Amino acid sequence: GESVGLHLPTLSVQEGDNSIINCAYSNSASDYFIWYKQESGKGPQFIIDIRSNMDKRQGQRVTVLLNKTVKHLSLQIAATQPGDSAVYFCAETAPDSWGKLQFGSGTQVVVTP
Amino acid sequence: SQTIHQWPATLVQPVGSPLSLECTVEGTSNPNLYWYRQAAGRGLQLLFYSVGIGQISSEVPQNLSASRPQDRQFILSSKKLLLSDSGFYLCAGTSGLDNEQFFGPGTRLTVL
């Protein structure tokens, strides 16, 4: 079936550097994408979203890029901080799917001093 | 803003015992509601979703059931728990035209 997956299971980043987390999706009908951050023992926290009519969206220290041609999504975190250490999930949904999200397997980001 | 509440936060239950996890929503009306399960170190698996009172759709065959007795209440149940039911259970909700899902804090279930 359709799936959303991540390229890297673990990403180690030095504090202050920029982080890039990648995600591939296979459902060409998907039109809405979300990045979540999940800290240990907590529920996922919304970071940023993007619709398929856009290719870039920026938030506070985060940028999401969408390449529909190759079905690729990325999350960029600027000036990574220790508090950014967490598991990051991408998720996608298609029209007429009642908002059901398909989640990727997650990337563990570890920020080192 | 929308807030999702879940309880209990943690639960340890023997095999064969019943289960009832509750989720309530604040700050919105007529939300779509979702139950997910997350195994340790893994992604989220959608179990059930509901678009309104009394409306439940199951995504995977399993030992669990869900009910929505009120607009902002979503309950996950089981008559007899299995060891494989252990996991981290998350409730989420969306509202309005936006598909953005907000998650609750989760319930850690351990079946022994």
CATH number of the domain that residue B70 is part of: 2.60.40.10
For residue A105, give its domain range: 4-112
Residues of chain A with pLDDT > 90, as a percent, come to 76
Contact at CB, B4 and A43, closer than 8 angstroms: yes
Contact at CB, B108 and A41, closer than 8 angstroms: yes
The CATH number for A8's domain is 2.60.40.10
Closest residue of chain B to A48, computed from CA coordinates: B100
Number of domains in chain A: 1
For residue B52, give its domain range: 3-111
Q: Mutation test of the interface with chain B: which of A3, A35, A38, choosing the one with the most B Cβ atoms within 10 A?
A: A38
Number of domains in chain B: 1
Q: What whole-number distance in Å separates Cα of residue B39 and Cα of residue A90?
A: 17
Contact at CB, A41 and B44, closer than 8 angstroms: no
Query: Which amino acid is present at B1?
Result: S
Each residue's pLDDT, cut to its tens digit, for chain B (112 residues) gives: 789 999 999 999 999 999 999 999 998 888 999 999 998 777 899 999 999 999 999 988 789 999 999 999 999 999 999 999 999 999 999 876 566 889 999 999 999 9
Q: What whole-number distance in Å separates Cα of residue B79 and Cα of residue B22?
A: 15
Residues of B whose CB is below 8 A from A99: 32, 34, 49, 94, 99, 101
Query: Which amino acid is present at A38?
Result: Q
Chain position carrying tokens 């981290």: B88
Contact A91, A36 (CB under 8 A): yes
* Residue B81 DSSP class: -
Instruction: Enter the tokens of residue A43.
Output: 């529920």
* A42 contacts chain B (CB < 8 A): yes
Q: Mutation test of the interface with chain B: which of A6, A42, A90, A92, choosing the one with the most B Cβ atoms within 10 A?
A: A42
The per-residue pLDDT for range A26-71, each reduced to its tens digit, is 899 999 999 999 999 999 999 999 999 999 999 999 999 999 999 9
User: Does residue A7 have a pLDDT over 70?
Assistant: no
